[in-house]
Structure 1
C-alpha cells in the first residue's frame, strides 16, 4: 500500500542514487532538502558538528606564503608588457615593388610610400596656399593618370573631376563659410555593372599650419591611391561603383567634404562611406565610429578586416565630445545622411598637427597593415547586397569590439541588452546558490550568511568609492602643485600614480576586515568568496543600469561577469568551492582573457589619449581624465584578481606594496622623468598669433592701436614652461577684458579658439608687428528702410585666405537679416551675439560682398548701432614673419612647437 512514509523513503533513495550534489557541488543544500522532506530522519548531533567544524575550518585556514604575493602581483604587468603591448605594436612587413609579382592583387606598401615621400616634400598644405591649391592637386592628378594608364580599360571606367566649390554651414558656434575650395574626386566602376549605388571613400590632403601632414592625412591619401590602383589593375570586377574623394579643406574645418556632399552630382548616389583620417602617425588604425543605425556595416568589417581594431567604447568617447578632434564623417552623416565607418591612425599623437608629422615617423608596416584592411573593405562593400539599399538594413546601433586584433565580435544594441541581462541573471542566481551552500556548509542559517554578505558588500562598496576617490585625489594634488601631465612622456607613470591607489582603495576595506574578523562560524575562504560575490553584485547592478540607459560600452561589465560565471559553475561542479582556496585556481584562470582584453583596450586608449592632453586646452585638469581612464581600466582588469591577495599570509603587509609604489613614482615625477616635454618627440604646443590691432570709434577716431602676441595655450601648464626662456613678465590673461571688448579683444581664429577665449593670454609688444598685409573692409552703403524700420549696411571684404567677421549689436539693436546663414540670427536660444563668421577661400580670391540689416525700437540710426570686427590671418608659411617675431620664435625652448602666424585685427563702430 502506498503511504506517505513510503514516498519519503523512495524520494530519499532517489536523491542518493542520482547524486545531484555532483552537479551543483552543494552537498548540504541537498541534505537540507532531504531534511525538509523527511524530518524524522537522522539529525546531526550538536557536539560532533562543533568538533567537525573546528577541524574543517582549521583545514581551510592554510594560506600561501606571503613571500609569493609580489610574484603574483608582478606576473600581471609582465603579461601586459610581454603579450599585450607587443601585439599592439606588431605590424606586417611592407610588400616591396620588387616582390610585387609574388603578391598579385595585393596592396603594395612601397608604392604608397614613394607617393608619400613626394607628398611630404611639398611641405605644409594650408587652404589658400600655393602648396595646397596647386602643387598637391597636381600631384594627385599625376598619380591618377598613372593609374589610368595601367588600368584594365576593358573592365573598368575611371572618371576624374576637380571640384571647385563654395558654400557655408553652421559649425558649432560660428558660420563656417568657404569659397573655391577644391576636391579631387574619382569614380571607378566596372563596365558590366548597372548599379548606381556607390561606396564613398574619403581622405583629405590639406594640413595644419607648419605641418607637412604626412600622417594627417597624407598616409590615408596614399593608401587610397594605392587601393584605387590595385582595384583598377586587377581583373576582378565589382558590383557597385566606388567614389574616391580627396578633399582639400578638412582642417579648415570640414569645408570641402561639405561642398562635395551637398553639391557634387556623384554624392547623391553614395550609400555608405569609409572615412579615413588621423590623430597620429604610424601604428595600427582604429575603427572608432560605425553607422549610425546600420549594424550591417560592422558585419562586413568583421568578415573582411585582416587586422581588426574596433571598439564601441572609442565611439562613445568620441561622440561625447571629450576628444578635441572632429572628422568629415560628421559632415557625411549630418548633411548627406550617409552611414559608414570612421577609421583613423592614433599612435604617436605627439607629432599630430606639428612640423614633426613627417614621413620618417611612419613605418612601411603601417601602410601595409592599413592598406590591406582598406583594400579588403573596398572590395567587400562594393560587392555587398546591402549597399544597394542600406535603409532596408537599418536596424539599430551596433555593439562591436575586437580581441587583440585577432577577431571581432559584433551584434545589435537590442541583442546586447538580452546578452547583458542574461549574464547578470545567471551571475545573481549563482551568487544566491553560493550563499545557500555557504550557509549549509557552515551550519548556520541563510539569514546569518545574508547579514554577513551585506556587511562585506558595504565594505567592498566603500572599496569601490576609495578606488575612484584616491586616484582623483592624486590628480587634484598634482594639479594644485602645478605639476600636471607628469606622465605625458613616460606613460608608465600612470601605473604608480593611478593604478596603485585604485587597487589599494579597492582592497583595503575587505583585507582589513578579513584580517581581523573571527572565523568561528564562516571560514575565511567562504568569507573571501563573499567578497567576490559583492564584486559581482556591484558589476551586475552597474551593467543593468548602464545597459538600459543606452550605454553600449556596458559590454565591458558583461565580459567581466560572464567569465566569473564560468568560474563559479566550474567550482560548483567540481566542488572546489568547498576545498580551502582551491576554487581560486579557476577564478584566476577565468580572468586571463578579460585581463588580456581590458589591458589591451585601455593601453591603446591611453596611447591615444595621453598625447591628446597636450592639446586639450587649459580649462580642464588632464590628470582627472587620464586618472579616471587608468582607474577604470585597472578595476576592470584586476577587479576579480586583486582579492586573491587574501589567499596569502600577511595580506596587510602585501597591501603596503601599492602605497609604497605610488609614493616612489610620485617622487619620480618631481625629477626630469616627470617633466612632460621632450624636443621633437613630445613637444609643448604653443599656439600664438602676432596681432596688430586697431579699434575705431563711431566718429572714426582710434581708441586702441597696439601690437602683441595672442596666446592660445594648448595644455594645462600654460605659459609656465616658457618663462625661463622668453620674457613673459608683461603677459596677462584676457579674461579681464571680456566685459569690455568683443571676444575679449582678441581675433579668435576658429570655433576652438572661440570656446577657449576666456583662457587666452596677451603679451604686449612695443615694436609694431610688421604685417604682410591687412584684411580690408569697405563700407559700400548705409541705407535706411522706413517700411520695416531697419537699416542695411553693405560691405566688401578683401584680404588673405583666412578671415573672420565679428558682429556685436549695441544695446537694444538686433540683427534682423544678413547675407550669411540666417540660422544663426533666427535661433536665438542657441546663438547669442557676438556672432562669428569664419570665411576662407582656396583657388579664387574674389572679394566677399555681404550685408547686415539692423533694427532698433526708436528707429534712430544716426548713432552707434554695432561693432564689426575684421581679422585677417596670414596662416601659410609662404607669408614672411617680421624680424622681432623670428627672434622670439628662436628663443622658445627646444621642447616647444609654435603654430603661429601674423594677424591683422580691426574693430569698427557703425
Structure 2
C-alpha cells in the first residue's frame, strides 16, 4: 500500500484514492499534542518533587517521651536524650585543654553513666567505666599530630553469661570547635549513645558480644583521642568492628557514608537493622575522594586498628556546623528518635552476629548499597554490580538495535539508511550532552568571575534557573533544532524522536560500561534509567505502540517515574549536604563548579529521557523558550539581594581569624621584627568582599609573597588545614600591640656536638597553652638527622611541622633536634625554629582592641577567632 514511495508511475484513480487515504491516516497518526498541554507535562514532574520527594526526605518519626516509656519498655526514648543534650549544651564550648572539656564534660558523662548503672539489671549485665588519659603521636597529612593527656571515657558493657572476647565499638566525641557548644557535632550522638546504653541496660534481653562505648575527648584536635584509644587502651585489641557517629550538620536523619573496607556483611547488618535507612555508595565515593573538607575517627580506627565498620553522620543543615549556632534548640526530637532507633537496632544485631567473632573471614570485597526513599536498602557485591550493569547496558543496546530494525521495516527503507540516520542523531544528541554540562559550568564561571559565587547558599531554589534549566536547554536544543528542520519523508518524526532516546540510551550504556570497569561503584546510577527505559522499549514493541505515532511516549514517561523520583530524592539530599559545605570550602577554588556539576548530573539522570518528549507537543520551539526565559529571570534575581549568600544566625559567612603577635629573633638574639595584626583565613570564595562595608580592611593583603620569604609564611599556622591553605591567607596589621594571655616559653637546655657522628644536638623545653606548633627549617647544607618526634616525618621535605596539644596533663614538652652539616661547623646559623601558641578557649580573655575590632563584623558573619603568638628563632 506504500508503492507510491518506491515507484514513480502514473497512479490509477482507484490507487490514487487509496494513497490519499493512507496519507491522511499517516498525518493523523503523526499529529502532535496541543502545545498548551506542555506546561501541564512539566508541572506534573514538579508536583512529584513537592508531594513525594521532599516530604519523604524530611519525614521524621514522632519522638517518644518519658510518658510513653511504660508502653515502650525496650524503645529508645528521645525526650530523655534531649534532656541530656540540654545539659550538654549548657556547658558551652568544649575545647581540648579547657576546664569545660577536661573536667566539666567528663564529669557530666560520668554522672550520666552512674545514673544508668543505678537502673541496670545487675543480675544480667555488668558495666565497667574507665577514664583513659593518653599521650601519643602519629602523622596526619603534613604534620606530626602529637597529644598529651587527652581523655576518653570508655564503657565496657556485657552480658554476665557471655564469654565472647570480640567487642563492638561505638564511638562519638564530646569535644567541640572553639566558640561552638557542639550540640550537633557531636553532642547529639553522645546522648544517643547514652540512651542506647540505658535501654540495653534496662531491658532483659541478653546478647552475645560485649560493647565498648567510647566517648572520646579530642576529635576536633584532630582525631587524637581515638588514636590514643585504638593504639593503647586495654580493650582496643578486642574490638572487631566499629560504628562511628559524627556530624557535619544538625538535624534530619543520619547518613551512612562510609563502610567496610571490603566487608559487605556490615551493610547486611545495616540493611536488616535500621528502620529508616539513609545510605549511599555515591556519598562514600565522594567522601573518600577527598572532595569534602572533613575527616572522622573512622579513618583512625580503620588505619591504626584495622577495624571494619560503619561511619554515620548527620549532614543536614551544615550551615550551623562548627559555629555558636550549633545548639540544642535546632535539633528536632524526631532526629534523636530516628537515629536512636537505628543505633539501638544495629547494636542489638551486631552483638548477636556470627561475623563479629572473626570479621576477617567475611572480608570478601566491596559492596554497592543505596537506600530507596529511606524504606529499605539495596545491597549487592561489586562483582554482582559489574555483572548487572553489563547485562542491563548490553541488553539496552540490543533492544535499540531491534527497534531500529523494526523502524526500517515499517518505513520501507534499508537498515543502512536507518543506521546512518541513527548515527546522525547520535552525534547531534552527543553535542547536546556536551552543552548540558558546558552551559551550567559556564554559568558558574561567569558568576564567579563577577564575584557573585554562592548565590544559592541561602536561596537554594536559584539553582533551578542557574543550573537545571541550562542543563535541560543544552541537552534538548540540538535535537529540537534537528527535528524542526528535518523532513518527514522516509522516516517519520515520531520514529526520529524515538531515535533521540535511543541515542541517549547508547551514551548511557557506554558510560555505564566504562565507569563500571573503572571500579566506580556509583555507576549503578546509569544502570537504573537504562533498566527502566529497556522495560518501556519491550512494552512498546510487544504492544506495537512504537508504530503508533507518539503513543510510545506514554510508557516511556510511566517507566521513568521511579528513576525520576529516586534521582531527585538522592540529589536533593546530596545538595542539602553539599551547599552548606561550600561555605567552608576555602577561597582557592570556585565552589559553584561543584554545585553546577552535581546539579547537572542529577538533572541528566532524572530528566534525560523526559525532556526530549517536549517534542511531542505542537510548537515545541515556543515551549522550549521557557528554559532560557527562566534562566534569564533567575540569573537577574541572583544578582540582587536575593542572591546575597548570607543571613544572620542561619546561613553565616565563616571567617577564621587569629589575633597575632609575631617576633623574629636573629642568631645573635636581636629582634628584627615585632608586630601585631590579624591573620584571616577566609572560608569561602567571596573572602573579604562581604565584610568590606562594615570592617576596615583597606590595608589587608595576601601573604603569598611572605610565604616565599619566610618559613611557613612567618605566621602561627594552626594545623594541617591552615598549613595547606596558608597561601590564601591575608594579613591586616594593627597599630596597638596585641595583649596576649601569656607567651610560650622555649628554653634551650643544651647544645652538644658529637664529633663521632659529626652532628650537633639541641635540647629544648617548651611550655605554653594547650595548643602549640613547632616548625623546623634546616638552613642550606644542613639536614635534620634525628629528633625526638616521629622519625618518618624527616623523610619528607622541610619545613617540618609538629602540632602539639594537651588536655589533662600540662607538663612542659622536652624534645631534641640533631643536625648534620657538610663542613661540621656548628658555631654558625644552622636552623630556623618557629613556635606558635594558640589560646583558642574562651577561658582566655581577649584584649580591648580585639573586642572593638570584632564588634565591627556584620551580623551575617561568624568569626572563629583566638589570640596567637609566633616566635621565630635562629640557632
* TM-score with structure 2 setting the length: 0.98
Q: Of 865, 882, 886, which aligns to 2:847?
A: 882
Q: Of 461, 464, 468, which aligns to 2:437?
A: 468
Aligned pairs (5 A) from 1:284-295: 284-295=253-264
TM-fit CA distance, 1:78: 2.2
Aligned pairs (5 A) from 1:297-446: 297-446=266-415
Aligned pairs (5 A) from 1:767-782: 767-782=736-751
Indicate the residue corresponding to 2:109 in structure 1.
140
Indicate the residue corresponding to 1:895 in structure 2.
860
TM-fit CA distance, 1:892: 0.4
Residues 295, 398 of structure 1: 8 Å contact kept: yes
- Relative distance call for 1:46 and 1:878 in structure 2 (3 A) is farther
Separation (CA, whole Å) in 2 of partners of 1:537 and 1:406 = 32
What secondary structure, in the 3-state scheme, does the structure 2 residue paired with 1:492 have?
Answer: helix
Indicate the residue corresponding to 1:797 in structure 2.
766
Indicate the residue corresponding to 1:12 in structure 2.
none
Indicate the residue corresponding to 2:211 in structure 1.
242
Residues 809, 815 of structure 1: 8 Å contact kept: yes
Indicate the residue corresponding to 1:204 in structure 2.
173
Indicate the residue corresponding to 2:7 in structure 1.
none
Q: Which runs of 4+ in 1 moved over 6 A?
A: 45-53
Q: Of 573, 584, 606, which aligns to 1:637?
A: 606
Separation (CA, whole Å) in 2 of partners of 1:664 and 1:786 = 78
1:67 pairs with 2:36? yes
Indicate the residue corresponding to 1:272 in structure 2.
241
TM-fit CA distance, 1:60: 2.7
Q: Of 810, 814, 830, which aligns to 1:845?
A: 810
Deviations 1:587-606 (A, max 9, x none): 00001110111001100110
Separation (CA, whole Å) in 2 of partners of 1:48 and 1:905 = 98
What secondary structure, in the 3-state scheme, does the structure 2 residue paired with 1:512 have?
Answer: helix
TM-fit CA distance, 1:856: 1.1
1:866 pairs with 2:831? yes
**Structure 2 stretches of 5 or more lacking a match?**
3-13
What secondary structure, in the 3-state scheme, does the structure 2 residue paired with 1:510 have?
Answer: helix
Separation (CA, whole Å) in 2 of partners of 1:167 and 1:670 = 51
What secondary structure, in the 3-state scheme, does the structure 2 residue paired with 1:677 have?
Answer: coil
TM-fit CA distance, 1:675: 0.3
1:747 pairs with 2:716? yes
Separation (CA, whole Å) in 2 of partners of 1:865 and 1:51 = 100
1:550 pairs with 2:515? no
1:616 pairs with 2:585? yes
Aligned pairs (5 A) from 1:477-488: 477-488=446-457
What secondary structure, in the 3-state scheme, does the structure 2 residue paired with 1:484 have?
Answer: coil
TM-fit CA distance, 1:812: 1.6
Indicate the residue corresponding to 1:40 in structure 2.
none
1:909 pairs with 2:874? yes
- Relative distance call for 1:46 and 1:354 in structure 2 (3 A) is farther
TM-fit CA distance, 1:635: 0.5
Deviations 1:203-262 (A, max 9, x none): 000000000000000000000000000001100010100100000000000000000000
Q: How many residues are treated as equivalent by the alignment?
A: 863
Separation (CA, whole Å) in 2 of partners of 1:641 and 1:722 = 44
1:513 pairs with 2:502? no
What secondary structure, in the 3-state scheme, does the structure 2 residue paired with 1:472 have?
Answer: helix
- Relative distance call for 1:448 and 1:812 in structure 2 (3 A) is same
Separation (CA, whole Å) in 2 of partners of 1:199 and 1:143 = 21
**Structure 1 stretches of 5 or more lacking a match?**
1-27, 29-44
Separation (CA, whole Å) in 1 of partners of 2:107 and 2:268 = 38
Separation (CA, whole Å) in 1 of partners of 2:344 and 2:756 = 63
Indicate the residue corresponding to 2:540 in structure 1.
571
Separation (CA, whole Å) in 2 of partners of 1:46 and 1:729 = 88
* TM-score with structure 1 setting the length: 0.94
TM-fit CA distance, 1:686: 1.0
Separation (CA, whole Å) in 1 of partners of 2:240 and 2:77 = 28
Separation (CA, whole Å) in 2 of partners of 1:747 and 1:356 = 27
What secondary structure, in the 3-state scheme, does the structure 1 residue paired with 2:70 have?
Answer: helix
Deviations 1:602-652 (A, max 9, x none): 001100000001100000101001010111100001001101001001111
Indicate the residue corresponding to 1:595 in structure 2.
564
- Relative distance call for 1:863 and 1:529 in structure 2 (3 A) is same
Residues 180, 842 of structure 1: 8 Å contact kept: yes
Separation (CA, whole Å) in 2 of partners of 1:894 and 1:660 = 35
Indicate the residue corresponding to 1:675 in structure 2.
644
1:832 pairs with 2:797? yes
TM-fit CA distance, 1:673: 0.8
Q: Of 211, 222, 233, which aligns to 1:253?
A: 222
TM-fit CA distance, 1:59: 2.9
Separation (CA, whole Å) in 2 of partners of 1:294 and 1:815 = 42
TM-fit CA distance, 1:53: 6.7
TM-fit CA distance, 1:49: 10
TM-fit CA distance, 1:701: 1.0
What secondary structure, in the 3-state scheme, does the structure 2 residue paired with 1:738 have?
Answer: helix
Residues 809, 865 of structure 1: 8 Å contact kept: yes
Separation (CA, whole Å) in 2 of partners of 1:310 and 1:885 = 45
Deviations 1:75-126 (A, max 9, x none): 2122112211111111111100011101110000000000000000000000
TM-fit CA distance, 1:47: 9.2
TM-fit CA distance, 1:54: 3.8
- Relative distance call for 1:49 and 1:313 in structure 2 (3 A) is farther
Separation (CA, whole Å) in 2 of partners of 1:888 and 1:396 = 55
1:717 pairs with 2:682? no
- Relative distance call for 1:825 and 1:46 in structure 2 (3 A) is farther
Indicate the residue corresponding to 2:125 in structure 1.
156
Q: Of 822, 827, 833, which aligns to 2:791?
A: 822
TM-fit CA distance, 1:862: 1.3
Residues 60, 523 of structure 1: 8 Å contact kept: no
- Relative distance call for 1:49 and 1:636 in structure 2 (3 A) is farther
**CA root-mean-square deviation:** 1.3
- Relative distance call for 1:686 and 1:673 in structure 2 (3 A) is same
TM-fit CA distance, 1:50: 7.2
What secondary structure, in the 3-state scheme, does the structure 2 residue paired with 1:73 have?
Answer: helix
Deviations 1:642-686 (A, max 9, x none): 010010011111111111101100010111110000000000001
